Amino acid sequence: MPSAPAVQVLAAAVKTAKTAAIAHPYLSVISVVIVIYLTHSYLAYSRLRHFPGPALARWTRIPWIIWHASGQVHLKLRDISETYGPLAVAAPGVLVTSDVELMRRMAAPRSTYQRNIWYMAFRFNPDKDHIGCERDGEAHTQRKMKLAPGYSGREIVGLEDKIDANIAALIKLVESSYLSVPTETKAFDLAQKIQYLTADSIGDIAFGGPIGFLQTDSDMYDYLKTSAEGFPFFNMLSLFPWLMHIMALDFVKKYLPSTKDTVGMGPIMRLAQETVEKRYPPKEGELHQDMLGSWIRHGLTKDEAMSETVLQILAGAETTATAIRMILFHIYTNPRVLSKLRAELRAARPSSPVTNAEAANLPYLQAVIKEAIRICPPITGDMLKDVPPEGDTYHRMFIPGGTVIGFSMVGMLVDKKTFGEDADTFRPERFLEGAIDDQVLQTRNAVVDAAFGHGRWRCLGKNIAQMELNKVIPEIIRAFDFTVVYPEHPFKSYNAGVQIQWDMFMRATRYEDGHLS
């Protein structure tokens, strides 16, 4: 129920609007709109007035929209967390948290928090949900049970071999076309080549063969370019998710990506459709030991398989590429780190290509991976959740039911209380300090792990992504030395819930050290 002051404000506003409408009838519509807007703003402010936050953001969503449009919203939310604390107002009716414990509580299996309508903006098909946007808790749980065995990797025969083959294709491409010599520099965009790798790897896992980005050394169908342009659109659409109802109209659908398109997402959607069509209905005795085969065996429908395959490629390729880029960037711009990694490889003498199990037992490599993800998490979207109708209590402060809570991933990962006074700097050693049972070390590991989500909303692709990181980093540092071509502007980036990065121009030379082979 609105508070007494809120009711009084509403009554006064209505009285003023009536007076204006009588004196100037043509202003009646404008007056009503203004009254509704001001009343809504006041009620939103009043409900959360006991939480700190930027003054203007308490009254209007304009700052919220500007932050997202800037491509730097993750940094603004970090600033809010640092200035106002781990739970603060970011927009009318919206709180943002950098508290990992609150995130875990919201994501717990029996939690009554639910995904906000924000998630609807990330539908590829306005009529169909995938695991990333399903809001119904029970439906999400049921679909996750069908998808999880495939994503675990245990039901995909030759999974490591597929990843190895695509890493080898990347190394061959750089060696054959982009190696520099003392008399000539061949600058190339490493960000682009890494995305070729992750897109081909996901395609190999999903379709039984790479799509062909590395083989052709090209952005086939302008897919990667189109997806990079699409993420900002979906990000802005998430601020106005009611528009999804308009996009579901037939006359609007014809302008959305389609399997009939010759560029962009269309050809990839068509490839997914053709692959799925071949598998449905499942033939008796037919056993495909790949991702789609696992999904079919666990009861995924044809329509669900189509949606999940497109999601796997679009989201998986972009996020894993970001992680690889940032790991490599920080390794090659920190000679001390590169030297220690190579020393660890010399001492361990892992096989070539390195196995996932071997890489998982290289402590400094794992520390480097965690630190790069901490400094630049691949996913930084708002991930808005609805507080249950009965409300909740956080550190003795009541959160009214219907409030929306978003997440500051960067704010959580650069928290000085958790990671030390140098939390803004790249220092992998922070994950090796203290005994294995040290509480500080355990907390740091757990917080970075939360970058992949938690509980019922944990990222299903984490295991495969981790495997790819474990394998690609040792193979790259065995093969090449990279130097940044333009150190004053090493790469460009735009945050649209995921990190979009480009123009990471590098100079590659062979690394000659037989002890690492």
Binding site members for heme: 459
Q: At what angle do helices 462-479 and 190-207 cross, to 10 degrees?
A: 130
- Using CA atoms, how far apart are residues 194 and 323, in angstroms rounded to an integer? 10
Look up residue 255 and give its DSSP letter.
T
Q: Got the DSSP string for 104-123? A: HHHHSTT---EE-GGGGGG-
For 449, residues 6+ apart whose C-beta sits below 8 A from its C-beta are none
- Sign of the C-alpha dihedral computed for residues 353, 359, 361 and 364 taken in this order: positive
- Using CA atoms, how far apart are residues 95 and 73, in angstroms rounded to an integer? 14
Nearest to residue 325, comparing CAs of 64, 141, 505? Answer: 505
Numbered residues of the known binding site: 459
Q: Are 362 and 369 in contact (CB under 8 A)?
A: no
Residue 259, helix vs strand vs coil: coil
For the record, the structure tokens of 385 come out as 């959740």
- Using CA atoms, how far apart are residues 496 and 499, in angstroms rounded to an integer? 6
- Using CA atoms, how far apart are residues 126 and 255, in angstroms rounded to an integer? 12
Q: Are 338 and 482 in contact (CB under 8 A)?
A: no
Q: What burial class does residue 445 get, using C-beta atoms within 10 Å of its C-beta: 0-12 exposed, 13-18 middle, 19+ buried?
A: middle
Residue 406, helix vs strand vs coil: strand
Cα 209 from chain centroid (whole Å): 25
Strand partners, 19: none
Q: Are 307 and 300 in contact (CB under 8 A)?
A: no
